[in-house]
């Protein structure tokens, strides 16, 4: 009995030591906080499931408020002071891009859950991994879907002039060039503007078949509202991720219905555990799970598993991440080197359309749940 | 032509609301010589007030101005009496730190209560328009907010020019010590001025709410804008702030249409620098050394 107690005591005393220290950098406050919250929630669910799997992690949370410089100092702290085995995060492309250089410098495995800028995994950094599909997939999946649905000849771009917006639309422009679609307007805008009417009126005067928008949550709603105001009437509104894939956006029936967007994940896709994750998320947090949550969840699961297997050694963890293969709520995951990418998960994008206030998968055919509405109905 | 008219009309309408924000800031500066770095956050409080009234009491954002104006006046008066009055004679850095601090407290308190989620007020008219012909449309809520702004500005002019209190405020703004010697209660005038400034910012917040979005950090966007407007028009000049607001609105709108929306801030700031180079005290400012 005494021996048992001693053993128990020793295990209890040692367990914090055996717990793997993993850093999380996320935009928990600041303008990106609504999406940051999804990432936080996803990681919290992962933490629960890891305990069930017998993997103990001690998470060190850092808030970067969406600013690259704060993100970088958070990474410095995690790498040198907290001595974490690996880091999951940050959220935005600008922060991830900044932090990736430090991850390589300090040789800390960094798993980026949901930042879209392609260059992040194109720098040849061995210690930088990415879960989500990069920005070029956003664009190509949307364009492919609209080419299947109709015969668009012209396209107009309006996007936030941040890393995410610029890189997503740049790849989209390159992609439509190969498909013979003509770009008739190219409008970057600074985020937080109150008035896009003049820009939208200019786009309207070009009468494009497709309007491609890249924005975060609030601007997405504003852009669609003002599109309706000025009477912009293309064959399809294409929303490049982020703001167009949130439940807040879907709730704005009058302006969000029939908008086509693409996403990394939906809760009706047939990847193992996806449906269950959606249900548990909703029950625990009272909101629908977004792709950010799913990406963050899977990233934390994989990072923790590798950290535990590698015994807390950064280099071993890096090797395990590189060599591993998983099949979870994000579908098959493998960090591969292809098309100039390093450690990039070649993740398939899903194209969805808001129908009756909910997101329905319309493309690719293998995952489609509903038939697409095309062309975009006339504004009422 | 349609693009030109559309841009001009949107620019003027949005400029009216900018003017309201600028007038509040300039009024506070004129009377107190304190630069209020928390101005945008006061506007944000006004937005949340509108949001609360709309969501929980079902009061239309435009009607809620009748409630939020006096409430924001009291709030501003309170800030002045409890905090700002104490630093009126302190060095400028301390005043700046105080107003920045107050702004931070406001935005973080709101974040604690409402989280940092974006709130959108969706009214039946949020995206309704009036067609004025030639493919040009005018946003209905923006037009209403412009009209309300115009009325408020007119009443404010009348108040400052014709009433005793208004004249006392202007006297305080012209020379604080002389005004005090003439028997004007300058502390009280300061409270009224800060209250009015806050009420105007809060009203601007209420007026933008139906067409914009609300989040705790929204203030910083408008603080910067308010500064540009105020300095452009001349620090302390109400007419200047009105002019500056409309000018910035039109410039933003026109440069978005004819150059690129990514460049509109650059155009605004180039214009701003030009005005400062040619007329350092601002469009309507009197140098006061």
Cβ distance B6 to A199 less than 8 Å, yes or no, reads no
Helical pair B186-208 and B2-32, crossing angle rounded to 10 deg: 160
Q: How far apart are CA B174 and CA B168, in angstroms?
A: 10
Q: What is the pLDDT of residue B108?
A: 93
Q: How close B174 gets to chain A, by Cα (Å)? A: 35
Q: In the predicted model, is pLDDT for residue A297 greater than 60?
A: yes
Q: In the predicted model, is pLDDT for residue A242 greater than 80?
A: no
Q: Which of B2, B213, B217 sits opposite A222 (nearest CB)?
A: B213
Q: What is the pLDDT of residue A341?
A: 95
Q: Give me the count of residues in chain B.
A: 289
| Mean of all residue pLDDT scores within chain A | 90
Q: What is the pLDDT of residue B289?
A: 41
Q: How far apart are CA A200 and CA A366, in angstroms?
A: 35
The pLDDT-based confidence of A25 (bands split at 50, 70, 90) is: very high
Q: How far apart are CA A46 and CA A57, in angstroms?
A: 10
Q: Which residue has the higher pLDDT, A360 or B44?
A: B44
Task: Enumerate chain B positions whose Cβ falls within 8 A of a Cβ in A.
Answer: 2-3, 6-7, 10-11, 14, 17, 111, 115-118, 120, 122, 126-129, 135, 137, 139, 208, 211-213, 215, 217, 221, 249, 252-254, 256-257, 260-262, 264-265
Whether A30 has its CB under 8 Å from any CB of chain B: the answer is yes
Helix residue ranges per DSSP H, B33-84: 39-57, 65-82
The pLDDT-based confidence of A327 (bands split at 50, 70, 90) is: very high
Nearest CA in chain B to A252: B122
Q: What percent of chain B has pLDDT over 70?
A: 99
Nearest CA in chain A to B117: A34
Residues of chain B in contact with residue A205, where contact means CB-CB under 8 angstroms, are 2-3
Interval B124-173: pLDDT, tens: 887 788 888 777 888 888 899 999 999 999 999 999 999 999 999 999 99
Rounded mean pLDDT of A1-18? 54
Q: What percent of chain B has pLDDT over 90?
A: 64
Q: Which residue has the tokens 């709101």?
A: B110
Question: How big is the A-B interface in CB pairs under 8 Å?
Answer: 116
Q: How far apart are CA B64 and CA A328, in angstroms?
A: 50
Whether A34 has its CB under 8 Å from any CB of chain B: the answer is yes
Q: What is the pLDDT of residue B42?
A: 97
Residues of chain A in contact with residue B129, where contact means CB-CB under 8 angstroms, are 229-231
Interval A126-145: pLDDT, tens: 999 999 999 888 889 999 99
Q: How far apart are CA A188 and CA A120, in angstroms?
A: 21
Residues of chain A in contact with residue B256, where contact means CB-CB under 8 angstroms, are 189, 193, 195-196, 198-199, 202
Residues of chain B in contact with residue A161, where contact means CB-CB under 8 angstroms, are 262
Rounded mean pLDDT of B47-76? 95
Whether this model's ipTM surpasses 0.90 comes out as no
A214-243 per-residue burial string, b: 16 or more CB within 10 A, e: under 16: bbbbbbbbbbbbbbbbbbbbbbbbbbbbbb
Could you tell me the pTM of the whole model?
0.76
Rounded mean pLDDT of A176-199? 89
Residues of chain A in contact with residue B118, where contact means CB-CB under 8 angstroms, are 34, 217-218, 248
Q: How far apart are CA B102 and CA B106, in angstroms?
A: 6
Interval A65-81: pLDDT, tens: 999 999 999 999 999 99
Interval B215-272: pLDDT, tens: 898 998 899 889 999 999 988 888 999 999 999 999 999 998 898 887 888 999 999 9
Rounded mean pLDDT of A11-38? 79
Fold of B2-278: ABC transporter involved in vitamin B12 uptake, BtuC (1.10.3470)
The pLDDT-based confidence of A211 (bands split at 50, 70, 90) is: very high
Rounded mean pLDDT of B44-65? 94
Residues of chain B in contact with residue A91, where contact means CB-CB under 8 angstroms, are none
The pLDDT-based confidence of A9 (bands split at 50, 70, 90) is: low
Q: How far apart are CA A284 and CA A14, in angstroms?
A: 31
């Amino acid at each position: 009995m005494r021996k048992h107690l001693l053993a128990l005591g020793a295990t209890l005393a040692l367990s914090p030591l055996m717990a793997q220290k993993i850093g999380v950098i996320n935009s928990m406050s600041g303008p990106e906080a609504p999406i940051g919250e999804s990432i936080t929630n996803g990681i919290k669910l992962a933490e629960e499931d890891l305990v069930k799997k017998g993997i103990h992690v001690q998470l060190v949370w850092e808030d970067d408020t969406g600013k690259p410089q704060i993100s970088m100092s958070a990474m410095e702290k995690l790498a040198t002071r907290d001595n974490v085995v690996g880091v999951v995060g940050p959220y935005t492309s600008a922060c991830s891009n900044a932090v990736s250089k430090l991850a390589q410098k300090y040789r800390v495995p960094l798993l980026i859950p949901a930042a879209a800028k392609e260059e992040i995994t194109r720098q040849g950094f061995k210690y930088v991994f990415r879960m989500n599909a990069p920005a070029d997939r956003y664009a190509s999946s949307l364009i492919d879907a609209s080419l299947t649905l109709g015969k668009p000849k012209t396209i107009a771009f309006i996007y936030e002039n941040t890393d995410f917006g610029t890189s997503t639309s740049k790849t989209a422009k390159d992609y439509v060039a190969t498909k013979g679609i003509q770009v008739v307007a190219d409008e970057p805008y600074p985020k937080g503007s109150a008035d896009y009417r003049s820009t939208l009126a200019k786009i309207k005067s070009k009468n494009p078949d497709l309007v491609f928008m890249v924005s975060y949550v609030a601007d997405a709603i504003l852009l669609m509202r003002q599109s309706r105001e000025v009477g912009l009437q293309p064959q399809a509104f294409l929303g490049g991720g982020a703001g167009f894939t949130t439940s807040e956006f879907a709730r704005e029936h009058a302006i969000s219905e029939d908008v086509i967007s693409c996403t990394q994940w939906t809760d009706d896709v047939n990847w193992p555990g996806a449906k269950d994750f959606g249900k548990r998320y909703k029950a625990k947090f009272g909101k629908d799970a977004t792709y950010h949550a799913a990406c963050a969840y899977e990233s934390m699961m994989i990072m923790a598993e590798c950290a535990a297997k590698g015994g807390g050694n950064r280099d071993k963890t890096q090797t395990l991440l590189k060599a591993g293969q998983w099949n979870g709520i994000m579908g098959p995951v493998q960090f591969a080197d292809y098309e100039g990418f390093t450690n990039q998960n070649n993740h398939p994008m899903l194209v969805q359309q808001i129908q009756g206030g909910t997101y329905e998968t319309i493309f690719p055919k293998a995952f489609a749940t509903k038939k697409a509405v095309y062309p975009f109905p006339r504004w009422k | 032509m349609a693009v030109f008219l559309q841009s001009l009309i949107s620019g003027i309408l949005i400029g009216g609301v900018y003017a309201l924000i600028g007038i509040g800031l300039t009024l506070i500066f004129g009377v107190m010589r304190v630069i209020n770095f928390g101005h945008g956050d006061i506007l944000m409080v006004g937005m949340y007030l509108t949001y609360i009234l709309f969501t929980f009491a079902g009061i239309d954002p435009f009607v809620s101005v009748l409630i939020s104006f006096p409430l924001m006046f009291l709030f501003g008066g309170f800030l002045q009496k409890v905090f700002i009055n104490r630093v009126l004679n302190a060095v400028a850095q301390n005043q700046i730190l105080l107003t920045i601090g107050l702004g931070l407290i406001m935005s973080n308190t709101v974040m604690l209560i409402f989280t940092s989620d974006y709130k959108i007020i969706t009214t039946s008219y949020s995206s309704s328009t009036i067609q004025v012909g030639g493919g040009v449309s005018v946003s209905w809520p923006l037009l209403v907010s412009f009209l309300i702004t115009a009325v408020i500005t007119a009443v404010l002019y009348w108040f400052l020019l014709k009433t005793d209190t208004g004249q006392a405020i202007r006297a305080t703004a012209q020379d604080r010590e002389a005004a005090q010697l003439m028997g004007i209660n300058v502390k009280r005038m300061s409270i009224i001025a800060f209250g009015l400034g806050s009420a105007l910012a809060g009203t601007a917040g209420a007026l933008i709410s139906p067409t914009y979005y609300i989040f705790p950090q929204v203030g910083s966007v408008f603080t910067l804008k308010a500064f540009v407007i105020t300095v452009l028009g001349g620090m302390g000049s109400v007419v200047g702030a009105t002019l500056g607001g409309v000018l910035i609105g039109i410039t933003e709108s026109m440069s978005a249409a004819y150059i690129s929306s990514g460049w509109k801030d650059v155009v605004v700031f180039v214009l701003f620098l030009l005005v400062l180079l040619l007329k350092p005290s601002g469009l309507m400012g009197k140098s006061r050394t």
